[in-house]
Structure 1
């Protein structure tokens, strides 16, 4: 039950990220500045919280290769997904990004972590069919750069699920998130300086977007690692199909993008796929 609670928080906070990113960009913030803000906020806030709870923990040298891979994957996913909404609508970005649940299952099966049962394959298919309904239309006229950024981000997330599964067995999720965010913030600092400095928002909505995006990342990523630790990569990926439903709903409320009847039907199909996946109680290998 704790795992399901964590994935619910993940979908709520990550689902709001694209809308906050769009507000940040519309308010004048630059892509690298947004990444610097979200990683720096997460690193600072989480290390302070860990210090207050006295739960800090060192990283063993043997974990550095996987940790480095996770930093690269997390940074690529963050930059690709959030930056894609500059050139394509939030629903389109979510549809392309959320091809990653289809990749997680086969990857986990290939590396021997979890068995890809027929029911789980069906759940993945049902979930993605629901996403196609929720986020239907607009792909033919979308900007190709935005599409590539969103798809690349989804690929990074699919691989990071397998990497983080191994790391969370030895490193607490909050410590792992703080470490990943700290290294990513350092890299972003160097990139911002090379790019000519920060591009601060010029309007209040830009500051709301930057702040909201940073908070959504810090909370969402911590809960994601905690969910993977308890539910496994496949179930977490399938349950994460709820996230774009939240993204589309917030885009409708905040950005004025209306939901059509087929999209509402798609949301119900996504939920059906999630319930189908969770009904498979066979233990993972």
Structure 2
């Protein structure tokens, strides 16, 4: 496989940092709203940020037969993945959520290989083994604890389910990104997710009471939404110009970002096991995606 274009690498790296920052920011405001309500605000704002660019380039033309698949992928990528992450953040520290979510590239690699999109070599298999070891380090201390919180284990399962859902979408998006421009696909997929999230947010009472964020909380929500709009565009643009595995590997930057911001802004502890897990996970992803 040829090397990914430099701009695609930079775009993917920027998304890795954005994901980690958004995870920490989401944990900061989740005590002021529900998981689905926050996800709805996140992508409603993200869509509004993309809308002027879409309007400036003209009304996008997407074949009618492709509308439903793209809408479904957008709903899963935004609605399902983000709602699961927000549920996990209620009980799991942001650095651990970001670390577990960084198994996204591992799952992408395995799914792409299973669907015949990419080859899984010996080198990549060794990288997969190291990645699994990193995840084991992340959850190992909880597994050995005398009293484990069932809610935290449920949160861990939610993160892994989010990573799998996102990985599947990353592999399945490629044909549509080759067929259409990135901007209209991004905007339409995000708009479709807003509809699904509105149903979930209604169950949390989002439309019956005015959201009660503090001034800082609104600023954080605005950051999450605007950065998510830009980040998702960069994500799909990178997927259009590079293989799914090579793009998703940069999600390994998210736990480092989340650990640094979580420790600085939220006072979350950075344990030796978590630091070791980040190092092992990064080494596994590097080995799995290293050029021959």
Q: 1:12 aligns with which of 17, 22, 26?
A: 17
How far the C-alpha of 1:23 sits from its partner, in A, is 1.4
Q: 1:245 to 1:234 in 2, by over 3 A?
A: same
**Does the Cα contact within 8 Å between 1:22 and 1:209 map onto a contact in 2?**
no
Q: How does 1:65-80 map onto structure 2 within 5 Å?
A: 65-74=68-77, 75-80=79-84
The runs of 5 or more residues in structure 1 that have no matched partner are none
- Please say if 1:59 is aligned against 2:62: yes
**Does the Cα contact within 8 Å between 2:37 and 2:200 map onto a contact in 1?**
no
Q: Which residue of 2 aligns with 1:250?
A: 261
Root-mean-square deviation (CA, aligned residues, Å) is 2.4
**TM-score, structure 2 normalization:** 0.85
Q: 2:149 aligns with which of 137, 141, 147?
A: 141
Q: 2:229 aligns with which of 206, 211, 218?
A: 218
Q: 1:119 aligns with which of 112, 115, 123?
A: 123
Q: Which residue of 1 aligns with 2:3?
A: none
How far the C-alpha of 1:275 sits from its partner, in A, is 3.4
Q: 1:125 to 1:210 in 2, by over 3 A?
A: same
Give the Cα separation in 2 of the matches to 1:98 and 1:38: 21
Q: 1:94 aligns with which of 54, 76, 98?
A: 98
- Please say if 1:172 is aligned against 2:172: no
Q: 1:206 to 1:251 in 2, by over 3 A?
A: same
Q: Deviations over 1:167-188 (max 9, x none)?
A: 2111222222211111112333
Give the Cα separation in 2 of the matches to 1:15 and 1:56: 33
Q: Which residue of 1 aligns with 2:47?
A: 43
How far the C-alpha of 1:217 sits from its partner, in A, is 1.6
Give the Cα separation in 1 of the matches to 2:102 and 2:285: 14
Q: Which residue of 1 aligns with 2:275?
A: 264
Give the Cα separation in 1 of the matches to 2:95 and 2:7: 29
Q: Deviations over 1:182-229 (max 9, x none)?
A: 111233334434543255134233223322221232122212112222
**Does the Cα contact within 8 Å between 2:102 and 2:252 map onto a contact in 1?**
yes
Q: Deviations over 1:10-44 (max 9, x none)?
A: 01111111111111113x12223211211111111
Which moves more between the two structures, 119-128 or 268-277?
268-277
Q: Deviations over 1:216-243 (max 9, x none)?
A: 3212221211222222112222232222
SS in 2 for 1:168: helix
Give the Cα separation in 2 of the matches to 1:203 and 1:56: 37
Give the Cα separation in 1 of the matches to 2:171 and 2:44: 25
Give the Cα separation in 2 of the matches to 1:51 and 1:190: 27
SS in 2 for 1:169: helix
**Does the Cα contact within 8 Å between 2:99 and 2:254 map onto a contact in 1?**
no
How far the C-alpha of 1:85 sits from its partner, in A, is 0.3
**TM-score, structure 1 normalization:** 0.87
The runs of 5 or more residues in structure 2 that have no matched partner are 1-5
Q: Which residue of 1 aligns with 2:114?
A: 110
Alignment length (residue pairs): 279
**Does the Cα contact within 8 Å between 2:20 and 2:98 map onto a contact in 1?**
no
Q: 1:239 aligns with which of 250, 260, 269?
A: 250
